[in-house]
Amino acid sequence: MTAGEQLRALRERLGLSIRMVEFASGRIADKYENPDYFLSLSRLSDIETKGITPNVFRLYSLSIIYKIDFHHVLSMYGVDLANVPADLDLAHVPGTHRSDALESQTNVEMPLKMDPGFQERATAPIARMVQQWGSVPMALLKKFTDRKFTYGYVGREDWTMYPIIMPGSFVQVDENRRKVEEGSWRSEYERPIYFVEMRESFVCCWCEVNGNMLTLKPHPMSPVKTRFVRIGSEAEVVGQVVGIAMRLDGWFETPAAPII
């Protein structure tokens, strides 16, 4: 069935006439003072029988009138929001920024049953560790943590933490860890990396605090120079990077002046 045929079948199953849908959409349009929400008799007939794709406002009206999830209406027209995580890497953005693209994800595929013979000390393919995968609502997972996470995207032209964090990576930021830690670390991998918001940009980097000055330190192999900014007026630490998702293949760009 086409999307229009599915919508017609749903309307008839609910016992709604075309005129009833028109009236209900008119109330929605009046509430938001926007005629784009309105579905006239002829427009709804075209949607159901002629394959006309409604605009986003009319799709919303249909989801409200038919009492179905808006995501489901989108899926009728081939827009599957479950594809968002896999498709994010298809669009390359030069600048580092916050990302809320995953906020709309209502379910996540995760291991439900692990192989009892799994030994965490040894390296192994994930497929061999997991006996059963399943879809779990994100709202359920959120009950297990009080930590607030922000997600960021490291721009395709941001080489600040190269090669630890490659351009085009996604990072998970723990907003409860905003205080810059001081001390010595056994390796660069133990040193905390922070996600910092500045006036017109964001950056992932190591940080040092001296009074009201924040030092933004790049990786030694990066061509990016160390920067000094004022805390509060020029920069704010969003949180500490606690997770990284990045690809290691398909690299054609190189930093402007790599240090080898």
Which residue, 43, 60, 76, sits at the end of a domain? 76
Decide if 95 is inside a domain: no
| pLDDT band for position 256 (cuts 50, 70, 90) | low
The last residue of a domain, from among 38, 61, 76: 76
Q: What is the pLDDT of residue 148?
A: 77
pLDDT in tens, 194-248: 999 988 889 999 999 999 999 999 999 999 999 999 999 999 999 999 999 887 7
Q: Domain holding 238: CATH number?
A: 2.10.109.10
Q: Would you say residue 35 lies in a domain?
A: yes
Last residue of a domain, one of 76, 108, 136: 76
Question: Which of 140 and 170 is assigned the larger pLDDT?
Answer: 170
Give the residue-averaged pLDDT of 82-108: 73
Residue range of the domain that includes 20: 3-76
Distance of CA 82 to the CA centre of its chain: 11
- The answer to the question of residue 71 being in a domain is yes
Per the domain annotation, does 123 fall within a domain?
A: no
Determine if the peptide bond prior to 163 is cis (ω within 30°). Answer: yes
> Considering its fold, how many domains does the chain have in total?
2
Could you identify the residue written with the tokens 């995501």? 71
In a domain, 177, yes or no: yes
Residues 71 and 153 occupy one common structural domain: no
Contact 39, 16 (CB under 8 A): no
Domain contains 216? yes
Burial class (CB in 10 A: 0-12, 13-18, 19+), 151: middle
Handedness of CA 228, 233, 239, 243 (dihedral sign): negative
CATH number at residue 55: 1.10.260.40
In percent, the amount of the chain with pLDDT more than 90 equals: 53
Say if 259 falls within a structural domain. no
The answer as to whether 127 is a domain residue is no
- pLDDT, tens digit, 9 for 90 and up, residues 132-164: 656 555 555 555 555 678 888 888 889 999 999
